[in-house]
Structure 1
Amino acid sequence: MSLHHAADGYNTAATADTYARGRPDYPPVLDAWLRDTLGLDVGRYVLDLGAGTGKFTPRLLATGARVIAVEPVAAMRAKLHASLPHVQALDGRADALPLPDASLDAVVCAQSFHWFATPQALAEIRRVLKPGGRLGLVWNLRDASVPWVARLDALVNRYEGDTPRYYSGAWRAVFPHPGFGPLQGREFSNGHTGDAQTVIVDRVRSTSFIAALPATERERVDAQVSELIAGEPLLAGKAQVTVPYLTAAFCAVKTETP
């Protein structure tokens, strides 16, 4: 399974830096979900699959579990290693994990599962999970019920082409899947607060298919985003703004028989 061409936009150090800076953190309430729903604790082993720059990795580390990261994009993996040198960060893909059978208590895909939502990847995830192991899927999603966020989304979405995304819902087609119980979901409120350059402009720049555009197109998107900010009373001239997010979290348990 090869990476979608839009992921090429991530394979520079500059884009990895923008990603780490522009992406929101995850809400603290998710800590209880990791503990109570995914069963993460001291003595457990968890895989951060599609770990990117390690944005979610500290949440996993905070549970006390032993964390292994797998990320196929070299520049993103280098950023993760620089930020979290004590975390084992491996090159690998969801359909060919460099890990033994039944070696993990949980696999977590934060902001990544839509890239590899295939039966082959789920079968491979099941292979590395222990009996009763948990698969966790997590996404931060801009809250498009807010009018200016909906306008920002419309601006960004015109460039998406066939890029895999959470919003398309295509990732759901692989469920139900043999060897996993039903997918159970939760939703939490979240927000990303900071200067508009970081939480809006850099966030847009960190979108895979935007990062993969030619330089002139990227500059045009920057100008459109800046125009939106300047024309929105809730954003214009503010030293700090908050982008509203929803965090969606799903869990499926490995069953005894496939």
Structure 2
Amino acid sequence: MDEEARRHSSSFGAAATAYAAHRPDYARAAARWALEPAPGTRVLDVGAGTGKLTAVLAQVSGNVTAVEPDREMLAELRRSLPDVRALTGSAEAVPLPDASVDAVLAGNAMHWFDMAVAGPELARVLTPDGVLAGLWNVVDDRVDWVAGLAAVSGSAAIGPRDTPASWRVATAGMHLPDSGTPRFGSPEQAEFPHGQRRTADSLVATLATRAGMLVMPQRERRETLDRIRAYLGSRPETADGEFTLPMLTCVLRVRRR
């Protein structure tokens, strides 16, 4: 991971409370599809953040362990999900025994992993035929006003992997272990409708938790958020009261051989 990526990936802790309040959960159908080939029910959520995916997995599988490297993010997860086993660790150093889980999932996190290190480590904790899957929430820019939002927001707020077409390209294998190794099979992609109830103010707050926004100089960040707020105020779909932000939960999965 280069220095810029490291700076982005480590930016979330300072905004952990806002992240927990404003980031969306994940489509349950997407989590079920990710887990469908798993040989059992033991699930690891790695890079779990404040537990947005963890909470969904707890409902879908009921047997979840969360692993997160950031202290502030982990504290939010433990506060909101006190019954979930939550450990300090990372995709590159998982504090679990060999072959101890049937599936490893990551929500909006796999692009931060150093897969040269994380791939063998995640293979280590998976059982044979276990599943490795990344889930990403993306905005559906096939909807006209969402496409406009993406255009005015800039790549710091809505960037690579944040719309369906860019997600398909960016995750076509880039963030999973090499399928030519004996550890994992060929990747599969799927997309599931999702949405988040927002107001203009709460959507601005959501976009403010993106890594690119968190590391942006304060003046530029304020100007970007003001531009987004003005756009939302100009659109009939978003100017008054609550609305649904059209989204997809996109999944990339492979099976351990």
Place the TM-score, normalised by the shorter chain, in its bin: 0.7 to 0.9
Give the structure 2 partner of residue 147 of structure 1: 144
Q: CA deviation at 1:65?
A: 3.6
Matched, 1:23 2:20: no
- SS at 1:189 equivalent: strand
Q: CA RMSD in A?
A: 2.4
Within 2, Cα distance between the matches of 1:85 and 1:154? 40
Identity of aligned residues (%): 35
**Which residue does the alignment assign to 1:193?**
197
Match of 1:240 in 2: 242
Q: Normalising by structure 2, what TM-score?
A: 0.86
Q: Secondary structure at the match of 1:239?
A: coil
Q: Is 1:57–2:60 an aligned residue pair?
A: no
Contact 2:108 2:136 in 1 (8 A): yes
What is the CA–CA distance in structure 2 between the aligned matches of 1:150 and 1:245, rounded to whole Å?
A: 12
What's the CA shift for 1:11? Answer: 1.8
Q: 1:7 to 1:156 in 2, by over 3 A?
A: farther
1:226–1:138 distance in 2 versus 1, CA, 3 Å = same
Shift of 1:107: 0.4
TM-score, length of structure 1 as denominator length: 0.86
1:215 deviates by 2.6
* 1:61-140 correspondence runs (5 A): 61-116=58-113, 118-140=115-137
Q: 1:117, CA displacement in angstroms?
A: 5.2
Distance of 1:49 and 1:185 partners within structure 2: 19
Q: How much has 1:164 moved relative to structure 2?
A: 7.5
SS of aligned partner of 2:45: strand
Q: Which runs of 5+ in 2 are unaligned?
A: none
Moved more, 163-172 or 246-255: 163-172
1:203 counterpart residue number:
206
The residue type equivalent to 1:190 in the other structure is: H
Label 1:115 to 1:164 Cα distance change in 2 as closer, same or farther (>3 A): farther
- Alignment partners' CA distance in 2, 1:28 and 1:11: 26
- 1:254 alignment partner, one of 240, 246, 256: 256
Letter in 1 for 2:201: Q
Which residue matches 1:8? 10
What CA distance in whole angstroms lies between the structure 1 residues aligned with 2:92 and 2:180?
Answer: 15
Label 1:224 to 1:211 Cα distance change in 2 as closer, same or farther (>3 A). same
Q: Secondary structure at the match of 2:249?
A: strand
The letter for the 1-side match of 2:245 is: V
Q: Which runs of 5+ in 1 are unaligned?
A: none
Is the contact made by 2:138 and 2:161 (CA closer than 8 Å) also made in structure 1? no
Corresponding residue pairs, total? 247
Tell me whether 1:222 sits opposite 2:225 in the alignment: yes
- The amino acid across from 2:212 in the alignment is F
- 8 Å Cα contact 1:38/1:136 also seen in 2: no
C-alpha displacement of 1:203:
1.5
Q: Is the 8 A contact 1:48 1:57 kept in 2?
A: yes
Counterpart CA distance in 1 for 2:104 and 2:155 is 32
